[in-house]
Amino acid sequence: MNTLSKSSSVFAEAKLYIPGGVNSPVRSFRSVGGNPPFITRGEGSKLYDLDGNNYIDYVLSYGPLLLGHAHPVVTEAVQEAAAKGTSFGAPTGAEVALAKLVCELVPSMDMVRMVNSGTEATMSAIRLARAYTGRDCIVKFIGCYHGHSDALLVHAGSGATTFGVPDSPGVTKGTAETTLSVPFNDLPALENVFAEKGKEIAAVIMEPTPGNMGLVLPKDGYLQAIRKLTKKYGSLLIIDEVMSGFRSAQGGSQSLYHIEPDITCLGKVIGGGLPVAAYGGKREIMNWVSPVGPMYQAGTLSGNPLAMAAGIAALTYMKENDVCATLTKRNAELTDALKAAADAAGVPVQVPRLGSMFTVFFSEKEVTNYEDATACNLDAFRIYFHSMLEQGVYLPPSQFETNFISLAHSDEDFAKTAAAAKVAFTKVAES
């Protein structure tokens, strides 16, 4: 790798004008140390930086780029839409097309409202659940991340965990008090909360296959039991598939585990790399949303024509080419190679995978919840991360994130990644 000298000098300037030099915390590399490369261009599986380095990218903008960087079907759709105007503040056919496509791909959704970020989607879903049930409390799982709205920054994963602020200052006591948190994969803990406060619980919100403490898979029957419990108490089940939607499987984790939520949140892949997210669900519930119903939610740029064009192009290509099934197979090849490299170096790791997502946990035992994830060897992770970066492999700069693959990742990319991992794990073993 060339130096990061140009990136470093821009980063120094960035820090003068932007908190931490970044517009989203994990990008700063603060928890792993060192300077982040500043990116000039992405193409296929690769990222290119200011200093002339290139990287095989397993971050993929934290998930959205299922087809890889600058896939022509997406960029052409965006260019065509841009030439006709960038925003209208009035309805368009593209919004209907994407809504129809999403409802077809995720059958539990009869209706859907487009928003601009996952944060907005989950925040609105919670307001809707509270409006619909007339109840105040919500239940979330420790280490799940649902964006940065106040109600959900309680025991939050992703950057909030990476930077040690799972409960952010600035969230009022009153808000935090109506968010009840329980450990993931622990049914008795949830049953206890319901036994105590069931009649006050508007909704359980969960990542069905959490990706924000690294990738954690649900125990057999766990999700079904949660569905049963919420029904018993008249609480809604909000499945946050902002990350897992069109990633774990075409129909999301709800299709893999056969659970039917009341409300689903989507984001990332749905916008093909442009700012789109959505919440939707049963018609009876969605009819509470303004202007049909009283639950208010709005957005100047919601359903933006460029974003809709990108989403339609990406999801149509995904559906027509069975991309999720292909990536599920490809992911097994890569993750098997990574596990073999760690085993050969004598480094204990767990490599859970699902669809096109995976995590390398530096742990001797299976990671089933936040406690297990935060017990991982973070020093080992840092060595691995920096060694991979030096060898041209760009990974999420935190143990508590998920890695992604795209349709653009080639056999050659995987072979290079596995070879780099061999070197990186050897460094870990020698440390």
Active-site residues, by number, are 145, 240, 268
Residue 140 phi, psi (nearest 5) = -130, 170
Which contiguous run of DSSP H or E holds residue 195? helix 187-197
Q: What is the pattern of x (binds ligand PMP, CB under 6 A) and - over residues 142-181?
A: ---xxx----------x-----------------------
Segment 239-268, which members bind ligand PMP (CB under 6 A)? 240, 242-243, 267
Q: How far is the CB of 239 from ligand PMP (least distance, A)?
A: 10
Crossing angle of helices 323-345/411-430, nearest 10°? Answer: 30
Residue type, 241: E
Q: How far is the CB of 277 from ligand PMP (least distance, A)?
A: 6
Is 406 a binding residue for ligand PMP by CB under 6 A? The answer is no
Q: How far is the CB of 207 from ligand PMP (least distance, A)?
A: 5
Rounded-to-integer distance, Cα 144 and Cα 181, Å: 10
Among the listed residues 175, 174, 172, 146, the one whose alpha carbon sits nearest the alpha carbon of residue 159: 146
Q: How far is the CB of 353 from ligand PMP (least distance, A)?
A: 17
Burial class of residue 299, CB neighbours in 10 A (0-12, 13-18, 19+):
middle
> Residue 223 or 345: which CB sits closer to ligand PMP?
223
Rounded-to-integer distance, Cα 252 and Cα 264, Å: 10
Among the listed residues 236, 303, 269, 298, the one whose alpha carbon sits nearest the alpha carbon of residue 405: 269
Stretch that binds ligand PMP, among 83-91, 118-126, 230-238, 412-420 (CB under 6 A): 118-126
Q: What is the pattern of x (binds ligand PMP, CB under 6 A) and - over residues 343-382?
A: ----------------------------------------
Stretch that binds ligand PMP, among 111-119, 131-139, 231-239, 280-288 (CB under 6 A): 111-119
Q: Which residue is nearest to ligand PMP (CB)?
A: 118
Rounded-to-integer distance, Cα 41 and Cα 305, Å: 23
Q: Per the structure block, which two tokens stand in for 363? A: 């742990």
Q: How far is the CB of 233 from ligand PMP (least distance, A)?
A: 24
Is 212 a binding residue for ligand PMP by CB under 6 A? The answer is yes
Is 119 a binding residue for ligand PMP by CB under 6 A? The answer is yes
Binding ligand PMP (rule: CB under 6 A), the pick from 28, 31, 54, 122 is 122
Q: Per the structure block, which two tokens stand in for 410? A: 């080639």
Binding ligand PMP (rule: CB under 6 A), the pick from 29, 62, 184, 404 is 62
- Cα-Cα-Cα-Cα dihedral of 76, 106, 204, 225, to 10°? -140
Q: Per the structure block, which two tokens stand in for 122? A: 């989950």
With contacts defined by CB under 6 A, how many residues of the chain interact with ligand PMP? 17
Binding ligand PMP (rule: CB under 6 A), the pick from 57, 95, 207, 372 is 207
Is 118 a binding residue for ligand PMP by CB under 6 A? The answer is yes
Strands 357-358 and 403-404 come out as antiparallel
Segment 16-35, which members bind ligand PMP (CB under 6 A)? none
Residue type, 339: K
Contacts of 95 (CB under 8 A, 6+ apart): 114, 303, 308
> Residue 74 or 121: which CB sits closer to ligand PMP?
121
Stretch that binds ligand PMP, among 91-99, 101-109, 131-139, 141-149 (CB under 6 A): 141-149
Q: Is 303 helix (H, G, I), strand (E, B) or coil?
A: coil
Q: How far is the CB of 18 from ligand PMP (least distance, A)?
A: 17
Rounded-to-integer distance, Cα 30 and Cα 259, Å: 38
Length of the chain: 431
User: Strand runs (DSSP E) across 135-244, as ranges?
Assistant: 137-141, 179-182, 201-206, 236-241
Q: How far is the CB of 266 from ligand PMP (least distance, A)?
A: 9
Which parts of this chain interact with ligand PMP (CB under 6 A)?
A: 62, 117-119, 122, 145-147, 158, 207, 211-212, 240, 242-243, 267, 277
